[in-house]
Structure 1
């Protein structure tokens, strides 16, 4: 990649504030460490006067600068400042804030309320490390100019900012109105001037180009248990929840999104967004086994814009259409807490029901500057390092980590990725009613987004349709995740592999609470742990205040969790050591106070029965009060069968992966199946205790009373309900289409006593008729309408039902029907030959009352292969079919108001 290198920029302070560059922390604990550099904070409140502030610190009728307190101000002091219009704009670590105060602010008031230091912001501190490096990639250059993103203070208008920049001959490339952000093209030599303008808050290089995180998982995710598609089970499809695909262009056409898809982009012929959308929200209308997570959600598609300030994204969030976004794109690597990171964190604070989901990236193997080599610290981009968002690692269907999946920590040592999901080798949707093999963290993230939509619906069903706070959903996902990698959280899997079933049970059981805490205060909550509990997990999570760009650490409000058991033993949360050393980063979690993350968990195995006290302390809450959520997981079963778990449709000889959960077992797992609802059992296999799945070749034992049992020592579990083993018809065709009816026939299935015919409805494939033979005639409203249809076999006496087969397409039009005189005349006037054909097909219309006609050729999947219009009826149309695969095609001829469809066989 081409780069342009300038000499490093030297910006000299014009005040007594001295810039000290250091690779280690400052010796003075009051100094500010910002982007790896150290800024001295002199104790000057005793002699400070406002006239000491330079002109570059004046803004409107006040001043902008840094203010440091002797200790984090109490909530009372924070509230006093607000009442006096003293704006603490952003928190900088070490009891320091970026402030805006009126010019008549009382120094005595500040002194009496714990202020230690007031200094102007050195221009150097407004420039990102990348910008100061002078080493710019091609995408950050505009000729000899640098492309930068500038944030300006909310106290000024965009008109004022643009006019001031115009005075410096700086070109505004993009104005993100109401966001206080501008994209600029600037000469290299104006950085010092730009950074010292008082209205300028932050300047960074424009974001790196977007790169898709490319390279099935419902049962691994336990999402199958949330969407059982049976009358007795859970049916959380994400209905009523808006999900956003921020990707490479239009999704579809595909019947798996029938009635639920809104494309807000004109970019076509791209497939990455199709793959993302299918995993997140595909309905499996075409092939049932390809169903996604939230098959009933409303899908909105927009172009990916890295800064999250594009109008489609903002509009859909602000008007409440979208609750969950998915972005499976990278922008750079280990970029730190950038202006984009701040944007996504702030959006979650502004709209508490909004959840941003990201891929973690596929950059493991890249050294992105964390300091521990190529296997650590390579989460891609800055937005994924947000505190209030989810970044997803990528695992195979068996739960093993994909080598390319990006690893943490975040730039400041926080736990990233947050959670893991299956993204590798998934079958997902593609354009024109086809499927593709999809992979990478691009496939893992939409799995989490889709499951989140299912949880949103579950919460809404219990709360009158209200949307949940995204903080509650994120906490629920993290606290119920299956252990993976090292015990406790780690920098590869985050908090583990998503377990949607346990997550929805937590929501349904109401095992959560919320409260708020202020600086220095402690709240105590009591939670009872009942007998029979084998493991308890307590977690506190809060949506943290957006940090200042460049902040390190990025945590603003720091809460502490301590758990006390009935015997007065205390437990501290998991912590990881972020020291940039490959051995240290791979070490298992220990326990202690956490001052980096906005999530803390205490896990206790074999807990004593009784009341547990959870103390939540506002260890450092400079922007309070801080709302938080406590979620708790009470695990009583050592072994839980999760797939198959009731209602599934298996086919003989097809490989299916059995999944189960376990906690605190030591013996190997014995797998068995029953074909008589548990009256007797047949051995499948025995697998080691560290294995939680098995790929089973389904036996040729048709029935509907199948169960799976898993046993480990004295612990055992069985599928909650029976599932099916049955065949699906291999062939189905429409053999006649008339004015008000259509007739279908299919291949027989041994032992079936009836068949259900499905046709595509408003959103899903729906049963429209049942037949005891291998054909059926059903009413239709318009013979010219296209039709998607499929069939399933069943035996009500024996109690089994097979999966419906792959949906088939008919383009529409009368077919082999005794029709009225005028229609019959039109059909008879048509000639299509040769049929079967190999290379060319000729079509003519002998009725010369029609001056021209149109021809459309479609395959059995409904894909239009050729479309010719306004063919002169004085000639014979020639169609080249030499590149068509052997099979059946449908040729539709339309002239005036007359239309007919003929079957064409290609050999």
Structure 2
């Protein structure tokens, strides 16, 4: 049995901090070395062979396609009356012409990605600088648009500039010269391609370290027979194979706009007017993220007020009952770049425009993880994180309309930030016949959420014409359970035979993502991951994501009872109350110096050497409970060093600053903080992120401040009244 204990020592925090300091200089996204490192994790031989096969297949398919088009008088390319471009891309196993179309009809971002941007609510300054994403579409984006500033690479060297591709690209990377058209990752780069050779080109790009690609198009729904809807076909199999062999690469695709099309006369559930079972082609790939369109209301603090699926967005389920779409992005009117001129803009809606907001959000999460921990997440981790932190809509659990809910990049970023404090994100492996178990402690009276996510092998089964075949495409079936005192908690699942019904809890044997929720969790639980049958290839990598957990016994209270235990000729030893599993940041200086000297130690005492007689010094410290989560600083200790020969007198001359130290309580806070000083009608407060971004400013009345509208995190409070200027840090749950 593979058993892992929930321990996280101060020394490991110290190692992580040194890691952060070593990568701070590289805040500009992917480097060549990082791409090579990602590529080294690929199954390079399999990818190379698969690309060769795809090239051969493509050449043969093009010959057959042109011949069939001529014989049947099919148009290869066509611009419809509504301006949409469609193109004959392939011929199905049953001889049906398969046309690609873009998925915009006429998408504000609700993903909360803006909270990560420069001047955003979280103060993280994440804009995609140096990051790169692939966009495949009906043509390439207009390279010289003023919003792109040389951040477009034409991946095909094609001259076919496309308005849809330009709008999709703008939703990801527009600089924001026109404020309302700013992209999610406004400093990132896009490699723009047309869709003709999408699988071939993605295979090549993924083999070189591509992390993400956006596909806001798919098979045209009114030109295929009913059995195609919800079917796991060769195109889904091919995309699953690419992602399995390139484990850091994730495809993000639009669900489509066929909800009201009435194109499927034989859905797996309900009638054609209900809108279920209209997903097609690569949207049925197990390992990709498929994005639905939503109309939603988000307040200024990033909280979801209400949401509903867009009237056009395509519903699942997959024929085997899998949860698709996976997640939802904004489907409202999105202002973005247009290709009419290098200064033109246009507004459009559809899952085409919901998808790039999710793609850009995922890119920022990769940038943030690399910034904090020096590495990128595997695609299964990134996908799992997005589904784990999505805002649930309507009934608890997933559904076949918006999957796991509305993309919440802010929540996902906070889980990355609080890793090994109140969250856990780990990439693990399960070997054939083994069991993975992990003991954790709930944070207390909150919802414990545990998810597993994995990139599954492509299924050997593909549907070649059978209506609503329920054969599961899942190859390696992993299972997660949570156990406490003999009680077993099960994951969410959906029933395709009751597609409009709420999710239930039970054994999920079709999805490569499983999630368990335990409201008001308390005490210790055991996470258990197992598998059914024999694992193909004898091992399956998976990602484990936990929130609402207490990963350390470390306390976020500032260190107190700081005492000087020993004084010698030129040094003193300071000691304070210990906090278990803590790392301490110690700062000291001569009192009149402007800058503090900083050291990190894992013991609750510090030898301060090379002191000079009759000099006055200051000392303070704080507790790190994980790499990114720290207490506020202790109240400074100020003393004049006299020396060792009069130790008693020395200790008697030690004194804390005469000014009453300013602090807030409770700390951590939930809804309200109280000040330990009285305030007047003229007292003002400001709350800033730790990076200095002002979040709130108002009058401080009754020495109380409401913080219920702030997301979880560490903040700086400043109090100002005439010549008084005080500050303190606090943590908000």
Please give the TM-score of this superposition, normalised by the length of structure 1: 0.48
Tell me the CA shift for residue 704 of structure 1: 9.5
User: Does structure 2 retain, via aligned residues, the 8 Å contact 1:523–1:615?
Assistant: yes
What corresponds to 1:362 in structure 2?
257
Between Structure 1 and Structure 2, the one with more helix by share is: 2
State the SS of the aligned residue for 2:199.
coil
2:508 pairs with 1:594: yes
User: Does structure 2 retain, via aligned residues, the 8 Å contact 1:485–1:496?
Assistant: no
2:535 pairs with 1:608: no
What corresponds to 2:239 in structure 1?
344
2:387 pairs with 1:478: yes
Q: Distance in 2 between matches of 1:251 and 1:481?
A: 30
- Which of 153, 168, 180 in structure 2 is aligned with 1:262? 153
What corresponds to 1:516 in structure 2?
429
Tell me the CA shift for residue 524 of structure 1: 0.9
Unaligned 5+ segments in structure 1 are 1-153, 162-173, 189-201, 637-663, 666-674, 681-702, 724-907
Tell me the CA shift for residue 180 of structure 1: 11
User: Does structure 2 retain, via aligned residues, the 8 Å contact 1:394–1:444?
Assistant: yes
What corresponds to 1:716 in structure 2?
708
| Residues 731-768 of structure 1 deviation map (CA, whole Å, 9 limit, x = unaligned) | xxxxxxxxxxxxxxxxxxxxxxxxxxxxxxxxxxxxxx
Structure 1 stretches of 4+ moved >4 Å: 178-184, 202-207, 675-680, 703-709, 718-723
Q: Distance in 2 between matches of 1:534 and 1:251?
A: 46
| Residues 548-571 of structure 1 deviation map (CA, whole Å, 9 limit, x = unaligned) | 252621011111111013x33210
User: Does structure 2 retain, via aligned residues, the 8 Å contact 1:363–1:378?
Assistant: no
Q: Distance in 2 between matches of 1:439 and 1:223?
A: 19
What corresponds to 2:292 in structure 1?
393
Tell me the CA shift for residue 412 of structure 1: 1.4
State the SS of the aligned residue for 2:126.
coil
1:181–1:496: structure 2 CA closer, same or farther, 3 Å change rule? farther
Unaligned 5+ segments in structure 2 are 1-45, 69-91, 222-228, 298-306, 464-470, 551-669, 672-680, 687-693, 701-705, 718-733
What corresponds to 2:414 in structure 1?
505
- 1:72-471 equivalences under 5 Å are 176-177=55-56, 185=64, 205=95, 208-215=98-105, 217-218=108-109, 220-229=110-119, 233-252=123-142, 253-264=144-155, 265-284=157-176, 286-305=177-196, 308-311=198-201, 313-320=202-209, 322-333=210-221, 334=229, 336-365=231-260, 366-368=262-264, 369-372=266-269, 373-374=271-272, 375-398=274-297, 399-431=307-339, 432-464=342-374, 466-471=375-380
Q: Distance in 1 between matches of 2:539 and 2:397?
A: 29
| Residues 197-219 of structure 1 deviation map (CA, whole Å, 9 limit, x = unaligned) | xxxxx95647611110011534x
User: Does structure 1 retain, via aligned residues, the 8 Å contact 2:474–2:512?
Assistant: yes
| Residues 834-854 of structure 1 deviation map (CA, whole Å, 9 limit, x = unaligned) | xxxxxxxxxxxxxxxxxxxxx
State the SS of the aligned residue for 1:393.
strand
State the SS of the aligned residue for 1:506.
helix
Tell me the CA shift for residue 461 of structure 1: 1.4
Tell me the CA shift for residue 182 of structure 1: 5.2
1:522–1:287: structure 2 CA closer, same or farther, 3 Å change rule? same
What corresponds to 1:572 in structure 2?
490
1:331–1:722: structure 2 CA closer, same or farther, 3 Å change rule? farther
- 1:722-737 equivalences under 5 Å are none
1:722–1:402: structure 2 CA closer, same or farther, 3 Å change rule? farther
State the SS of the aligned residue for 2:64.
strand
Tell me the CA shift for residue 575 of structure 1: 1.1
User: Does structure 2 retain, via aligned residues, the 8 Å contact 1:676–1:706?
Assistant: no
State the SS of the aligned residue for 1:380.
coil
Higher relative CO (Cα under 8 Å, sequence separation at least 6) belongs to: 2
User: Does structure 2 retain, via aligned residues, the 8 Å contact 1:485–1:493?
Assistant: no
Q: Distance in 1 between matches of 2:461 and 2:178?
A: 46
Tell me the CA shift for residue 620 of structure 1: 2.8
State the SS of the aligned residue for 1:330.
strand
User: Does structure 1 retain, via aligned residues, the 8 Å contact 2:232–2:284?
Assistant: yes
Larger radius of gyration: 1
| Alignment length (residue pairs) | 469
RMSD: 3.7
Please give the TM-score of this superposition, normalised by the length of structure 2: 0.59
| Residues 270-309 of structure 1 deviation map (CA, whole Å, 9 limit, x = unaligned) | 211111111112121x22342211112221100013x633
